[in-house]
Structure 1
Amino acid sequence: MSNEYQNILVAIDLSEDSRQVLERAQEIAARNRQAKVSVVHTLEPLGFAYGGDIPMDLTSIQEQLDEHAHKRMAELLKDFDIPEENQHVLVGMPDSETHRLAEENKVDLIVVGSHGRHGLQLLLGSVSSGVLHGAPCDVLAVRVGKDDN
């Protein structure tokens, strides 16, 4: 079995910290014979976020959020050589959608950002922690942001 990664999935939140996570993934890809790099951002469904308590159709708002996420991803990725077909904006729960995409695409490394919080989330935020648990492959948490100390 090879110790090289061949297929890397980068899960980003579309913040400026995402650049640091993307840069780390690109470095790993370069050291691994230009491994394939894909990027995913997952939007939680509005109906889930509001518990279905809002008696209105949220479809157009969800579509606007999706459009904004695509535009923001394009802005973030303009300096990275990642083909459009490897750029994914999904709707669902971030951890389960990341796992599903990783399994479908035979990903061998997921790269996520970590904010270095205290307590139970000492190394990982809730989404990063969710991605770690149940991941079908290795997970690398890249420390981003400023220390709270």
Structure 2
Amino acid sequence: MSYQHILAAIDLSEDSQQIVQKAVALAKPLGADVSFVHIDVNYAELYTGLIDINLAETQHQALEASQKQLQALADKADYPIKYILIGSGDLSNELVDTIKEFNIDLVVCGHHQDFWSKFLSSTRQLMNCSPIDMLVIPLKD
């Protein structure tokens, strides 16, 4: 099978460069498009009590910081990046919607191989809902 549009799911950790490198290495010989996606936390959904901060401003600042980090990864990619996407909310729902909207046919993501990831794994969550192929890169901690 020849992939046409590869989506690198990036969490903006130090390991993000590995995910980008793998997506680009797969895309180059195929001439496939590469896009990035990062799903931010939706702060409004996390806290339902009274809080003395401006959630809209906090969300905007987080969005700008994420955009800068993703653009820095794109600049280092040595390959054209078609879309740099940022969403917020439920990771699974946002990713499935992105896959459909942008005609993605492969998702590349990482999986930390540590104690906590055995119990709290966003990659496992994605595997249970992804309608397309996934490449999971093991990330040693």
- The residue identity in structure 1 corresponding to 2:26 is I
The alpha-carbon deviation at position 129 of structure 1 amounts to: 1.3
1:25 to 11, 23, 35: 23
8 Å Cα contact 1:96-1:131 kept in structure 2: no
Gaps of 5+ in 2: none
Q: TM-score, normalised by structure 1?
A: 0.84
CA RMSD of aligned residues (A): 2.0
The alpha-carbon deviation at position 140 of structure 1 amounts to: 0.9
1:139 alignment counterpart: 134
2:1 corresponds to 1:13: no
The alpha-carbon deviation at position 70 of structure 1 amounts to: 0.6
Deviations 1:112-143 (A, max 9, x none): 11112359838xx6211111111110011101
1:54 to 45, 50, 56: 50
SS in 2 for 1:13: coil
1:121 to 95, 118, 121: 118
Structure with more strand by fraction: 2
- The residue identity in structure 1 corresponding to 2:136 is A
2:92 alignment counterpart: 95
8 Å Cα contact 2:114-2:140 kept in structure 1: no
Aligned residues: 139
1:76 alignment counterpart: 73
1:41 alignment counterpart: 38
The alpha-carbon deviation at position 145 of structure 1 amounts to: 3.4
Deviations 1:20-42 (A, max 9, x none): 011111111123x2111110001
Identity of aligned residues (%): 28
Deviations 1:86-109 (A, max 9, x none): 101111112211111011112111
Change (3 A) 1:120 1:18: closer
Change (3 A) 1:54 1:126: farther
